[in-house]
Amino acid sequence: MMHRLYVCGKTLFGVLIGQGKIMNLRGSFVSAFVLVFGFTANPLGSAEIRHVSEYNISLGILPIAKASFASEFNSSDYKITGRFKSAGIVNIISRISAETSVSGRMQADKLQADRYNLVYSTGKRTRIYDVEYRNGNVTGTTVNPEPTRNPETWIPVTEKDLRAVLDPLSGLIFPGDAKVCPSRLPIYDGESRMDLVLTPKGTKPFSTDGFKGEAIVCSIRYLPRSGFKRGRSDIEYLRKTPMEIWFAKAQSVNVYAPVYAVIPTRMGQVYVTAVKYGG
């Protein structure tokens, strides 16, 4: 379950999906979905607009984590920083925390990262991931300390896998005029390369502190490509099980970002909910 939180969160949303212990935030979709962020805005006309959003993460009705994100936008550049902390029953097993940041450039249909960083801690152990991008291609990856891999079971990331990719944090934010779903997001988080495939499911009303309106609802599938251990049961479970993610529009900066996600696990449904999204 920790791995699923990561996959969704790394990407947390992009994003709580990633590398996989009982609650590995790095799992790719903290690319995973810690991988969730939103925005609060200063008055329009500011050269730089700052946004803050907060998320609760629960297993059924039991709280297991909290996340918060701050975003800064100007006419062409952006920077997002985020924090994630385990809570409730998870802390009985092991305390997990993460700090992440990404900076890059605004484009017509996406946010394109220049640099992505994640500092992930579980108990007394800390690992740092740092990725540099140029025009969507990965130019460098540093992981400290380097993890130990079994070459017989590990599926390595290839040079081809590192071309035309998105980071797990801003990869799940869309400019207001872009197509949110259907879409296919090629994510690289410093360890794993995956595709997140979004399929439209309509719209639903959503309200929280700072937002009230219609959210775009997408089914999301996790397709691992490389950078993971062959035969892992949690990877296979995620690959076969559709998830759901909702996007809301932050009018002041004209972008869509996640506000809600449902991630099935063998222990029950994990819910990621924005409790602050502007305002």
Per-residue pLDDT tens digits for 109-139: 899 999 999 999 988 899 999 999 999 999 9
Place of tokens 């035309």: 164
Q: Tokens 């997408």 appear where?
A: 218
User: Once rounded to an integer, what is the mean pLDDT over residues 18-30?
Assistant: 36
Q: Which of 3-17, 100-114, 199-213 has the lowest mean pLDDT?
A: 3-17
Structure confidence by residue, pLDDT tens digits, 95-108: 889 999 999 999 88
For residues 172-199, average pLDDT: 92
Domain residue spans in the chain?
A: 2-277
For residues 150-178, average pLDDT: 94
Give the mean model confidence (pLDDT) for residues 260-265. 90
Question: With 90 as the cut, is the pLDDT of residue 52 above it?
Answer: no
Helix (H) or strand (E) holding 32: none
Supply angle C-alpha 279, 87, 69, rounded to 5.
30
Residue 122 CA to its chain's centroid (Å): 18
pLDDT value at residue 162: 98
The two three-digit tokens of residue 79, written as one number: 């920077």
| Residue 48 pLDDT exceeds 90 | no
Query: From the CB of residue 153, how many other CB atoms can be counted at a distance below 10 Å?
Result: 11
Tell me which residue of 207, 13, 263 sits closest to 271, measured CA to CA.
263
- Give the rounded percent of residues in the chain with a pLDDT score beyond 90: 56
Q: Which helix (H) or strand (E) holds 126?
A: strand 125-134
Is the pLDDT at 24 greater than 80? The verdict is no
The answer to whether 143 touches 190, Cβ cutoff 8 Å, is: yes
Place of tokens 């296919």: 184
Q: In a 3-state reduction of DSSP, which class is residue 211?
A: strand
What average pLDDT does range 31-49 have in this prediction?
Answer: 41
DSSP 208: E
